Every structure is written in C-alpha cells, then in structure tokens.
C-alpha cells in the first residue's frame, strides 16, 4: 500500500521501484518454469520470495513522507508491523531519542526504557528490555528488542520489590560480576519505575 | 588504531552483550502482571541434554531442564 502511495507521489521514480519488483518476480518465474517442467502434477511450493513483502524504496530521498512506518519486533512476536505514526521516541543508550519522518538513517543500541509511539493524539507505550533501533532513509524505523511489553502489563508492586532486592544485592556484592548483575537489575528496575510513573 | 574508549560496566566485568540482554529481558518478564508473567516465563523454558565428547566417544549426557520432572 505504501509502495503505491510513494509511486504516485514520485511518478518520475516509477521505473526504479518497479524494476526491483520485476527482478524479484523474474527469479520466481524461473523456478516455477523449472518446477512445472519436472513435476507438472504437483503444486509448486511457495518460495520465500512470494512471502516477502516489498519494502518502500530507499531511493525516495527527495521527498519526506508525512508519517513514519514502524516495525516493532521482539523475540516472541512481531509487536507492530508497518504501523504509521508521526513520531517515535526510543530509549537509546545515549538518551531518549525522538525520530520523526525524514530522520537521518542511523543505528542505535537501546537501553532498558520506554518506547513511545505518537500517532495523532494517541500514544502507545512499550517497555523495551534492550535491543536496537534501525532508522532507514525512507522513514522506516525497525525496532528490535528482546522483550517489548505494553506498559499496561507491568506490575508496580513487583518493580518496587525488585528495586529493594537489588539495592540490597548491590551492597552485599563481592565479585565484579555480582556487582555488574546487581547494577543491571537496578538500571532495569529504575527504568521500569520511571516508565510506570512518567 | 584507536582502542575502544569507555566500555559498558557489564563488559568490563566480563559479561557479554547476549548475557546482558537476556538478564534484562528476564528481569522485565518477572515484573509483569499475572497472566502475562506466567505465559512469558513458560515461553522461555528450555529442556535439553548435553553430552561432552572425549577421545571420540560421547560421555554420559546430562539433562538441563526448566520443566519439573
């Protein structure tokens, strides 16, 4: 759907985006032709190429789309795919980073924190445990995280309990590794705490 | 070549990024509200058997499991 929108807006670039699509279908056609020759009675299998959704072309550097396309993927589910939004704020290790359409292409490592997606008047918030955010030059943002939970699923009392437990672990930690683990626990839990209230 | 400047504290303590990421993910899972918490913890359970090899022959395998026997 987005592909058709961009080809309408950038009609002079029409030949670029359809050329990529043609290359894909040409490879698929060769396979299909070979299959039909050898096994005409069997249905051909679906190749990964047929499942592949074409992504908007990155050549469209001339115009900035009005909305970002967000893909949020976590280890167990694809939280969001191709969600349109005006702005997204990701918890990068260098601080909260706001990404608007037309953002320069970048890769950022994420620290445990809150991911907010602003669409019109509504905000969707997810807590990200850690991961990476890839922003492409066509205003597509891919956010991958080990765990991305909607903030409503977080239990405040467990967060408080965990904070107390890890503060105590930090004071009794002896080896470097134990100290690091306790510090990580504190970081994650205080991020959870501030996300619940913020 | 410039050497890496400030490494994160967990790497300085000998932890790898994967260990760090899994630790963070586990902490988040333990802070979820009830139905989500048990689903998430169940999803991450593993059960596997390891056998080390010595002199071309496998030794007795050990089973590592999160599922109660």
pLDDT for position A62: 62
Q: What is the mean pLDDT of chain A?
A: 80
Residue A85's contacts (CB-CB under 8 Å, 6 or more residues apart) are A67, A68, A70, A117, A118, A119
Residues of A with Cβ-Cβ distance to B4 under 8 angstroms: none
The answer to whether residues B39 and B30 touch, using CB atoms and an 8 Å cutoff, is no
Q: What CATH number does the domain containing B33 carry?
A: 1.10.1620
ipTM for the complex shown: 0.77
Question: Which of B31, B32, B40, B45 to mutate against chain A (most A CBs within 10 Å)?
Answer: B31
Signed CA dihedral, B64, A154, B33, A75: sign only: negative
- The range of the structural domain enclosing residue B54 comes to 9-65
Reduced DSSP (H G I as helix, E B as strand, rest coil) percent helix, strand, coil of chain A, to 5: 40, 30, 30
Signed CA dihedral, A80, A82, A86, A92: sign only: positive
On whether residue B36 sits in a domain, the answer given is yes
pLDDT for position B58: 85
Number of domains in chain B: 1
Summarize pLDDT for A62-102 with one digit per residue, the tens.
Answer: 677 888 889 898 887 767 778 888 999 999 998 999 999 88
């Amino acid at each position: 759907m987005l592909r058709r929108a961009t080809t309408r807006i950038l009609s002079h670039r029409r030949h670029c985006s359809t050329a990529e699509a043609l290359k894909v279908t040409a490879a698929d056609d060769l396979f299909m032709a070979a299959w039909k020759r050898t096994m005409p009675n069997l249905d051909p299998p679906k190749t990964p190429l047929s499942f592949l959704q074409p992504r908007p072309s990155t050549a469209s550097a001339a115009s900035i789309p009005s909305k970002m396309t967000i893909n949020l993927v976590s280890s167990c589910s694809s939280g969001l795919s191709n969600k349109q939004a005006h702005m997204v704020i990701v918890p990068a290790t260098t601080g909260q980073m706001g990404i608007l359409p037309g953002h320069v292409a970048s890769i950022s490592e994420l620290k445990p924190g809150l991911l907010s997606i602003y669409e019109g008047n509504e905000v969707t918030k997810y807590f990200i445990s850690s991961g990476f955010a890839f922003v492409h030059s066509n205003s597509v943002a891919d956010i991958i995280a080990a765990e991305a939970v909607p903030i409503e699923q977080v239990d405040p009392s467990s967060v408080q309990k965990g904070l107390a437990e890890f503060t105590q672990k930090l004071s009794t930690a002896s080896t470097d590794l134990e100290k690091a683990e306790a510090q990580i626990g504190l970081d994650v839990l205080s991020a959870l705490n501030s996300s619940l209230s913020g | 070549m410039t050497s890496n400047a400030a490494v994160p504290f967990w790497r300085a303590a000998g932890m790898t990024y994967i260990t760090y990421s899994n630790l963070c993910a586990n902490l988040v899972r333990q802070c979820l509200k009830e139905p989500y918490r048990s689903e998430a913890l169940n999803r991450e359970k593993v059960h596997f058997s390891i056998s080390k090899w010595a002199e071309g022959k496998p030794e007795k395998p050990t089973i590592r499991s999160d599922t109660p026997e």
